[in-house]
Amino acid sequence: MTQDNSGLVLRGFLPYRLHNAAEKVSLAFAAVYKRQEGLSRPEWRVLAILAQLARATATEIGAQANMHKTKVSRAVFALEERRWLARSADDADRRVEWLQLTRTGRSQFAKLSQSARQFENELVAALGDKATRHLLSALTRIEEVRLAEQSHPHSRAR
């Protein structure tokens, strides 16, 4: 019944280490698109998601990126000002606005994609092929896992 070893050792705590690693990588990459185009994180996210989907609503983007809807709203506004994306109305449902990248937006994303790939390549090179494969398969597992009591702050819990 000793209490001695009941203190968690943080250095080995998986969520802690995962968080630190992700933050390190995210910050380094954020520096890339910030320096290159002055994009904020939410703006980059919306841009990237929208580039995948070609056409989406703000709600869809929020769901994919796990971003609060007001954050999406603002990022969309910012990208619209740059003329990187445009809105259009839905014929059937007048509540929804379809978003899609403009020609400019697509070409800017393509340009950033170059840097992104370069960044990723450097990372992969540093990790090594084997570690990278293992990491990717572990990430896939995590994506699939159903964690207890998620209680998401961003998206309404249904």
Partner DNA sequence: CCGTAACGGTCAAATTTGTAACTATCAACG
Partner DNA sequence: CGTTGATAGTTACAAATTTGACCGTTACGG
Give the residue, chosen from 38, 91, 129, 147, that forms a contact with a copy of itself under the rule CB under 8 A.
147
- Residue 70 found at the interface with DNA (CB under 7 A): yes
The alpha carbon torsion through 25, 127, 49, 144 (nearest 10 deg) reads -100
Give the residue, chosen from 39, 48, 61, 85, that forms a contact with a copy of itself under the rule CB under 8 A.
48
Binders in 6-65 for DNA, by CB under 7 A: 40-42, 57-59
Q: Which of 60, 97, 63 is nearest to 80 (CA)?
A: 97
CB-based contact 66:154 (threshold 8 Å):
yes
Q: Which of 96, 102, 120 is nearest to 50 (CA)?
A: 102
From 55-63, 71-79, 90-98, 128-136, give the range in contact with a copy of itself by CB under 8 A.
128-136
From 55-63, 71-79, 83-91, 116-124, give the range in contact with a copy of itself by CB under 8 A.
116-124
Q: Which of 93, 113, 95 is nearest to 52 (CA)?
A: 113
- Residue 16 found at the interface with a copy of itself (CB under 8 A): yes
